[in-house]
Chain A
């Protein structure tokens, strides 16, 4: 399972290893300082980490989907979205079409979950689904499917568990030190005779780690996340052969001011753009899960008619003026030049109002609203808790009977 991440991304692996090392150091020195046993501390740290990992591995995706109140859709619910995901599945060579979820939320975002490609899901907010044309939607889905294909979901879950364990350990240890745990440990040590200096040094190192480790881990985590975003953008452009689709979708998403109601901090790297972004932040912020959108858009638009990973890497060099690329060199070897395709016909999707109705109709259906088609052309949608079998049309005054609905529970 690791060979794809490993073969592509030595640097990511180094960063992950650094985080793991931080955890071990923290465990060891806290153990020394608190119970006089470094190995004991190590065991506790690893135990917490393993338990958290197991939980994230087996429950992570269903948890995040239920927190987001995402609803699974079928092909008939939204043929265009389903088709686009299927197209990207084919283009990426993924073995299975991911499950597709819609989140009833006017904000603009999308994310992917699932620990491996055969058990993955993509989710999109209704707001974003309404706003994007076919090419843009394809770009967004290509980006999300790249996360699945590149095993980013697994990697980032793994990393956030590491980060979580470090933060948790530091937090508990700080409590224990403040409330006397250390005194006991310290005196036991000194009564054992000698090593007073050593104890002091260990305690000093433990305190420094206590403060530094969570921050350092956070920064490493952000660095990994940003790299995976660039890679997902690049793969997205390659799969669609149309970088402009993703670029223009990102622009629309960045232009929106609405925040996702159900976003979860630990999960931020999986969204197409950071749901916790602050306006007016410095461009190359170290403390962000995502590269600045304006830069991502500029890179995609600088690909000069190409759609290959190499074209993305070249564009990245130009835009960021950085000596280092974002695409691992192993992925660039032997790859043929790829030309970008033309955009879909401008009206290959219904106009905006129709897209909005298409999405809202779907959401009403899921909420068990009854539909009344009045003769005057007005449509009335009645919530399940509406009492009575008929309703008067406020436009023409006709009284319409409400078709039988599913029994409401309320």
Chain B
């Protein structure tokens, strides 16, 4: 798989038995639908698990950022924001293959999380996990 943002080489990072695809060049992260399901199932999140289709259903954000293509089906992805306390702009595959966090977005997560945790809702918990994995990125 190639990085949807910069076509760089993507390595697989396995943390606590969850796999994330991580671009070594732009530091973007691809969260595969199956892995997201595994994570949310394990966290036992209230209100059910956070599924990709739920994220797809979120309202589209109109921003200047270039559209990215899903690394699996090559379809253009939709831009949405998740997280209530700390909003993060992400790309989601409309066919439900997964979610893409740009390198800058992960940096933003890291910056906001510094010592505190993201909100305890399910989107926040996922962001939290991402912050934990990429503790000292780049």
Contacts and interface: CB of A to CB of B under 8 A. Distances in A.
B85 interface: no
B85 to A, nearest CB: 23
Which of A353, A357, A392 has the largest count of B CB atoms less than 10 A from its CB? A353
B135 interface: yes
A295 interface: no
A149 to B, nearest CB: 33
Contacts, number: 71
Contact of B133 (A352, A360, A395): A395
Contact of A352 (B11, B19, B41, B134): B41
Given A106-B34, A397-B136, A378 B14 contact: yes
Contact of A383 (B9, B15, B134, B136): B9
A395 B135 contact: yes
Contacts of A380: 11-14
Nearest to A397: B136
B138 interface: yes
B51 to A, nearest CB: 11
Interface string A362-397: 001000010000000111111101110001101111
Given A106-B34, A353-B42, A394-B136, A364 B12 contact: yes
A395 B134 contact: yes
Interface string A101-141: 00000100000000000000000000100100000000000
Contact of A386 (B24, B38, B133): B24
A356 interface: yes
Interface in A30-50: none
Given A380-B12, A381-B11, A394-B133, A357 B41 contact: no
Contacts of A364: 12
A386 B8 CA distance: 9
A354 B41 CA distance: 13
A356 B135 contact: no
A335 B82 CA distance: 61
A360 to B, nearest CB: 6
Interface residues of A, number: 29
Contact of A382 (B11, B136, B137): B11
B78 to A, nearest CB: 18
B24 A391 contact: yes
B86 to A, nearest CB: 20
B10 interface: yes
Interface string B1-41: 00000000111111101110010100100000110001001
Interface string B123-138: 0000000000111111
A356 B17 CA distance: 9
B35 to A, nearest CB: 8
A394 B41 contact: no
Which of A130, A382, A394 has the largest count of B CB atoms less than 10 A from its CB? A394
Given A106-B34, A397-B136, A353 B11 contact: no
Interface in A287-319: none
A397 B135 CA distance: 8
Given A352-B41, A394-B22, A397-B136, A385 B9 contact: yes
A394 B134 contact: yes
28 contacts: A130-B34, A352-B38, A352-B41, A353-B18, A353-B41, A353-B42, A354-B17, A357-B14, A357-B17, A360-B19, A377-B15, A378-B13, A379-B14, A379-B15, A381-B13, A381-B14, A382-B11, A382-B12, A383-B11, A391-B11, A392-B138, A394-B13, A394-B27, A395-B13, A395-B135, A395-B136, A396-B135, A397-B135
Interface of B: 9-15, 17-19, 22, 24, 27, 33-34, 38, 41-42, 96, 133-138
Interface of A: 106, 127, 130, 257-258, 352-354, 356-357, 360, 364, 369, 377-383, 385-387, 391-392, 394-397
Q: What 10 A-B pairs are tightest by C-beta distance, nearest first?
A: A381-B12, A379-B14, A397-B136, A394-B137, A394-B134, A386-B9, A395-B135, A378-B15, A353-B38, A353-B17
